[in-house]
Amino acid sequence: MAEPVREELSALGAIFCGPGEWEVLSRSETDGTVFRILTRAEGFMDADIPLRLVFHLPVNYPSCLPGIVVNSEHLTRAECEIVKEKLLEQAETLLSEPMVHELVLWIQQNLRHILRRPEAGGGSEKCTSAASTTVDDGLWMTLLHLDHMRAKTKYVKSVEKWASDLRLTGRLMFMGKVILILLQGDRNNIKEYLILQKTCKVDVDSSGKKCKEKMISVLFETKVQTEHKRFLAFEVKEYSSLDELQKEFETAGLKKLFSEFVLRLIK
C-alpha cells in the first residue's frame, strides 16, 4: 500500500471516530482496501439523511477511481444509484490525489441539490436491507456454492460477521461435502458481501497458508417473491441427509430452486 493511501486511511479513521462511523472491511496487497463510512447529509426539505458509503480502493488508487456503494434507508434505490454516479463524477476531478474525505464532504454539501434534480425523482423502492414479513420490492435473494472450507471455524465466523454487518439473513448450509449460502437482503449489500467473500483471506490452502475464496459460484439470484419465506436471522445449519436439506428449501418456498440448482451439485 502506497504511503499516501496509508496516511489517508489513518486520517479517515481519526475523522470518522464516532460509534460505527468507520470500519475497514478487508485489506489486501493485491485487491486493495474496502471500508465503510457512516455519515449524514442534508437532503430534500432539509431532512437529515443517514448515508452508508462503502469504498473500495484498488491497489493503484488514487491513479484510478475508487469503487463506491451507496445505501440509505431514506433513499430509493434509484436515488442511491444517482448519488453513486455523482460521487464517481466528482472523483474523476480528483484523480491522482487522496479523495475519500473530499468526496464525503462533497456529498454532505450537495446531496439536497442532487435529490432535487428530475432524474432522482423516480421510483419508491427503498435502498434498505431490512427483512420484512410483507412483500418488499427491495428484498433480494442469492444462492452461493462453496467448493470446500478447510479452516471451517474461522470461515464460519467470518460469514456470520459479514451477514450481521450487512444486515443479511438466510442460511449457511452443510450437507456432506455440499456447502451452500442462502442470503436475503438489499441487493447492494449482497454485492458488498460478495466483494468481502472474494477479497478477504478466509480460508487456508493445502499448505496451510491463508488464502482468498476462489471457488465460489453464484447459482441463483432473484427478487424475493410472495411465495418465498422471509428469513428473520442468519443461521448456520448442518443436514444429515438430502431429504432434510430438501425440506429446508421446500419450507422456504424454494422447491424449484432446489430441483434446478442444488440437486445437480449432488448427482
Q: Is the pLDDT of residue 133 over 60?
A: no
Locate cell 479523495: which residue? 99
Helix, strand, coil distribution of the chain in percent, nearest 5 = 40, 30, 30
Residues 150 and 41 in one domain: no
The pLDDT of residue 117 is: 62
pLDDT of residue 76: 86
Domain-embedded: residue 135? no
Same domain, 145 and 259: yes
> For residue 115, what pLDDT is reported?
84
> Which pLDDT does position 30 carry in this prediction?
79
State the residue range of the domain holding 166. 140-264
Q: What is the CATH number of the domain that holds 31?
A: 3.10.110.10
Q: Given pLDDT bands bounded at 50, 70 and 90, which one contains residue 260?
A: confident
How many other C-beta atoms can be found within 10 angstroms of the C-beta atom of residue 78? 16
Q: What CATH number did the domain enclosing 249 receive?
A: 3.30.70.100
Query: Phi, psi (5° rounding) for residue 20?
Result: 75, 5
Residues 21 and 68 in one domain: yes
Confidence of residue 45 (pLDDT cuts 50, 70, 90): low
Domain total in the chain: 2
pLDDT tens for each residue of 71-103: 888 888 888 889 999 999 999 999 988 999 999
pLDDT value of position 156: 92
Tell whether 133 is covered by a domain.
Answer: no
Between 136 and 62, whose confidence is greater?
62
Instruction: For residue 121, tell me if it sits in a domain.
Output: no
State the Cα torsion 184-186-187-189 to the nearest 10°.
-100
Q: What is the mean pLDDT of residues 114-126?
A: 58
What span, in angstroms and rounded, lies between the C-alpha atoms of 215 and 30? Answer: 18
Q: Average pLDDT over the chain, rounded to whole?
A: 84
**R_g of the chain computed on alpha carbons:** 20
Question: Residue 208 CA to chain centroid, in angstroms?
Answer: 28
The DSSP string of 241-264 is: SHHHHHHHHHHTT-HHHIIIIIHH
User: Within this chain, do residues 259 and 153 fall inside the same structural domain, yes or no?
Assistant: yes
